Structures are given as structure tokens and as C-alpha cells.
Chains A and B, each alone.
Chain A
Amino acid sequence: MIIKPLLDSKAELTHGNVTKCPVVLSTRIRLARNLAAHLFPGWAAESERSEILANCFASIGSVTGMKRGYKFKIEELDDLQRKILYERHLISRELMSSNNGAGTLVSKDQSCVVMVNEEDHLRIQVLRSGFHFKRVWRTIDRIDSAIEERLPYAFSEELGYLTACPTNVGTGMRASAMMHLPGLVISNQMEKVIRAVNQLGIVVRGLFGEGSDASGSIFQISNQMTLGETEQQIIKRLSSVLESIIEQENNARGRLLEAERTKLFDKIARAYGILRSSHVMSSAEAMNLLSLIRLGLDIKLFEEENREILDRLLIESQPGHIQYSAKHLADSEERDVLRAAYLRTEFEKIQEPDFGDI
């Protein structure tokens, strides 16, 4: 398996373990960039795409921060490896189903990714655990400038960075935060929140599957508009929306703890019980139960040191990762058995919730 070294090493997403703001799992910024004097990937011939890919692999591999990292050509990866990279946010859905001439560069700690020949020639992405837009912007700004020294970008004074789709033109920037919002979901306020932030040009997407059922209460919240504002203005506006969502989530949790304390404790205790003892579990169920345990951890029912295990399990319970650990082609029924067994073992390490003095 080509991607094995990557799976065997520590990654920002699974080992970042930041606790300052438990509502925000991770912060991500991506920049869409295209090379001057080339057709966009969707319209370019395969020969041109391959030439661009080789060129980018050579030039970007030497950028500080990307050295000693990984390079994968999508055509060399089978479906399973593509799926795993997708579940780890190292390639996009579009790149997962891409044909020849596409690839991805991943930094050693897997926090920086440059996808080549996705919708745009380059999709540069930096991800950090926790709520850290300033740090993430500083990092991606530096990588972007270093790449630009090697590969001149398509840029217009009037419209900024030119992208294949006009929705990204200008800064080419999509800033997003992955948020864990069980309080708002349990108290049925999520729809109201989504509608309110939509009107501010902010988009909310469920992370896992369709509908709120399968989401594990994890949402990706990002800016929609990319032109007419500076990167700092976009980040500032998004951050203030995120801060207000954090506040609403904390209020919702506070209300649940006051008015529906026993019901909430019951949900968390049952989630723990099922994770420790079930024999068949779908990924949707796993997400929802893990989400409840994470909420339990935030309100101190579990030891803080378990957070890292939990955030790792949120990634590793997904179909591609379970498939990988099976070491053979498992169908979805077998995967559900394997997932349950895996979670049972992992939860032996986590002590029962302590409802004692809360």
C-alpha cells in the first residue's frame, strides 16, 4: 500500500489534541490558485495536465514546510487508498474520482496539503486542530508566496487570483472551521442557526453523510464570498460568526444541563454502554455515539486525557479506515462488525462516566 507510511505516522488531525476550545475541532484555510498561461485542469488535455503535475511535484516539493512530505499521484492509488485520504481530508471528493494527471502533496505532519489538478491547478490547504485562524493564515500565506516564486500564478489586478469557477475568484480563499455542536442539535436549534448565518454569506455543511442524523453533530462552517474583501476581512467576519455560534452552543449545553440533566446523562451513559459492548455498528451510529461521548468529555464526565483517543476514533471509524484495518476487501456488513470490535477495544481504555459531583 502506497500510503502506508502516512497512516503509520502522527498527524495533526488525529494527534493535534488541542483543548482550549472544545467546540471547534479544527481550523482550515484553502487557497485556489492557477498557473499563468495554462488551461484550467477541467479543459486541459491530459498531456498538459501531466506536465503540470510533474512540474508542481518538482517545484512544490522543495518549499519549506513541504520538504520530507508525501507525494501521491491519484492514478497510482486504488479506490480504498483514495477513500482513506479523503476521510483524512487530504484529498477532496472531486480529486478522489479524478482521472490521470492529478495528485496531492502532503506535509510530514499532514497539516499542509497541495492538491494538483483538482478543479484548479492548485488547491493549497492548511489545517490545524482547534480555533487558530491567524496561525493558519500565516502558514498558508508563507507557503503560497513560496510556491508563487517558483510557479507564476494567473492573476488579474481587477479580479485577483483567477479560478476555474467564478465562485472562487479574488482571494481564492475558503476559510472554515469544523465545529462540534451537539447542544444545538439536541435542542433542535441547528436549522435556525444555519438560516441565520446563511444570510451573512456563511455556509454550513454537515460533515458526515446527509442529514443531521448521520452527522455526529459535526459541521463545517465557511465563507461563501471570495471577492471584494481582503483575506483578513473575510477571516474576521467568519470568526465573529463562529464566536457567536460557540456562545449559542455553550448556552444550549447550559440549558440542557439545567432543564434536561437526567435525560442528557442518560444519553451519554447509553452511548458509552453501546460503544463498550456492541457487536455490529454502522459508521453513522458510531459518529453519533462518539459525538455524545465528546460532549460528555466537555462537561467533565470523562477524563480530559481521552480527548485525543476520541478525535482519532472520529476519523478511524469511517468506512475506508475500517476497510484498511481489515486488510482485505470487507463488505459493509463485515465492516460494521469490525468497527464494533475496534471500538469495544478502544473503549476498554476509557473509564466509565463519572456522574458524581456534577
Chain B
Amino acid sequence: MAKALKCNLCDNHATVHLTQILNNKIHKVDLCESCAQQKGVTDPNGFSLADLLIKSTGGEEAGADQALKCPTCGYTRRNFSKSGRLGCPDCYDYFKDTIDSILANMHKGTTHCGKVPVNARAHISLREEVSRLEEELKKAVDAERYEDAAQYRDRIQEVRKARDQNE
């Protein structure tokens, strides 16, 4: 390679080149001596590449607007690519594109399948109940079973109300 590689964390000349296989994907990170030291990369006991990955890929894809701001907390995409941390829970929505690509690189999957808090569980099951009832309602209307349809409509309103109280 003719061009000297730059450190992923600062602009110095990179002398430490690392490869780690995560999720069957090969990740390469290039660092200068001092960043490598600082990150504990030279520590033979191992280090966390994931942390480095965020900083080297965070928000730097072509065309990403660095000034994009989370309307809830005022955090910018530039803040994120610099620190690797987010400002508030809503940042996950506003920087979705950037975060999704990082998550796909870093984790086993991109969807949560673990524990769900009781509050959220109730909310999820109510939402599922509404969509089930809506389907029944449509079927009833299609079959001109208007009495049933009216009952479904009432039930949907009840569940919606319960869901809103739950929020």
C-alpha cells in the first residue's frame, strides 16, 4: 500500500494494525502508538475492540450530516462519533442509520430478544390485542355481521383506553 494509514482515533500515522473476528466478520483497526497504548491494545490480556469500532465507524459514513441533532436532548451526530456515547434514549431514533450499522457489526443480532419489563410487556400485549380485534372487526364487517362488529369496536376502544393509561 502506497498511502500511509492514519490512526482511526486521531490523525497520527498508524503503526499498530489489528484484526479481530466478531460474528464471523473481520474487523480491522489501525492505530498510532499512543492511542494503542491508551486503549490497552498492547496489553496481552486482551482489550475490547467493540469500543474502538464505534469510534472508528460511528457516523462517518459518506454524506452523514455531522450537525444532525437529537431534538429531545440536543446531542449531535458529531458528539456521538467523538465519544461513542449517546445523549438520551431518543437518540436511538434520530441516529438510527448510524447506530443500526454499528449494531449489526457488533452484536449477535439487531433485535432484542431478552427480558422485557412488565410495563412494556403489558403495552406490547395490548397493542397485539388491538390489532387482533381490528382483524376480527374487518372480518365481521365483510361478513355483514354488524352486531359482532359493534362489539369488536367497543372492545377496541376499551383496550386503546387501557393502553393509553398504561403509557
Closest Cβ–Cβ distance, residue B33 to chain A (whole Å): 16
Contact for B107 among A34, A206, A228, CB less than 8 A: A228
Whether B89 and A171, one on each chain, are in contact in the complex, defined by CB atoms closer than 8 angstroms, is: no
- B23 to chain A: which residues have CB within 8 Å? 201, 225
Could you tell me if B103 and A165 are in contact, using CB atoms closer than 8 angstroms? Answer: no
Is B159's CB within 8 Å of the partner chain A? Answer: no
Of A156, A203, A226, the contact of B92 (CB 8 Å cutoff): A156
A42 at the interface (CB under 8 A from B): yes
Q: Is the CB of B45 within 8 A of A219?
A: yes
A54 in contact (CB, < 8 A): no
In the complex, whether A258 has a CB less than 8 A from a CB of chain B is: no
- Contact partners of B43 in chain A: CB under 8 A: 206, 210-211
Residue A215, interface by CB 8 Å: yes
How many residue pairs bridge A and B at CB < 8 Å? 151
* With A157-B112, A215-B45 as contacts: A43 and B118 at CB distance below 8 Å: no
Of A144, A160, A167, A204, the residue contacting B46 (CB under 8 A) is A204
- How many Å from the CB of A292 to the closest CB on chain B? 19
List B71-107 residues whose CB lies under 8 Å from chain A.
Answer: 73, 75, 83-89, 92, 99, 102-103, 106-107
Q: Which of B20, B75, B92, B111 touches A162 (beta carbons < 8 Å)?
A: B92
| Smallest CB separation, A2 vs chain B (Å) | 30
Q: Is the CB of A171 within 8 A of B115?
A: yes
Q: With an 8 A cutoff between CB atoms, is A154 at the interface?
A: yes
Q: Interface centre among A36, A152, A170, A190, by most B CB within 10 Å?
A: A170
Place the interface of chain A in its size category: 35 or more
A186 CB → nearest B CB, Å: 15
The answer on a CB contact under 8 Å between A167 and B54 is: yes
B112 to A204, Cβ gap below 8 A? no
Interface membership of A55, Cβ < 8 A: no
Min CB distance B47 to A, Å, is 8
A164 at interface by CB-CB < 8 Å: yes
A231 shortest CB reach to chain B, Å? 5
Please encode chain A, from 195 to 219, with 1 for each CB lying within 8 Å of some chain B CB and 0 for all others: 0001101011110001110010001
The residue of chain B having its C-beta at the shortest distance from the C-beta of A230 within the complex is B114
User: Which chain B residue has the least Cβ–Cβ distance from A33?
Assistant: B117
Q: Quick one: which of B48, B87, B114, B124 contacts A229, CB cutoff 8 A?
A: B114
Residues of chain A contacted by B89 (CB below 8 angstroms): 34, 36-37, 40, 154, 156, 162
Quick check: B50 and A167 within 8 Å, CB to CB? Answer: yes
Task: Assess whether A224 is interfacial by the CB under 8 Å rule.
Answer: yes
Contact indicator A204/B106 (Cβ below 8 Å): no
A227 touching B45, Cβ below 8 Å: no
A173 contacts chain B at the CB level, 8 A cutoff: yes
14 of the cross-chain contacts (CB-CB < 8 Å) are A43-B73, A43-B86, A43-B87, A145-B117, A159-B92, A161-B112, A198-B20, A201-B22, A211-B45, A224-B48, A225-B22, A228-B107, A230-B114, A231-B114
Question: In the complex, given contacts A155-B116, A199-B21, what are 16 additional A-B residue pairs having Cβ atoms less than 8 angstroms apart?
Answer: A40-B87, A42-B85, A145-B117, A158-B112, A160-B112, A164-B86, A167-B51, A171-B114, A194-B44, A198-B21, A225-B23, A226-B107, A227-B103, A227-B106, A230-B114, A231-B115
Which A residues have a C-beta under 8 Å from some C-beta of B? 34, 36-40, 42-43, 119, 141, 144-145, 148-149, 152-162, 164-167, 169-171, 173, 190-191, 194, 198-199, 201, 203-206, 210-212, 215, 219, 224-231
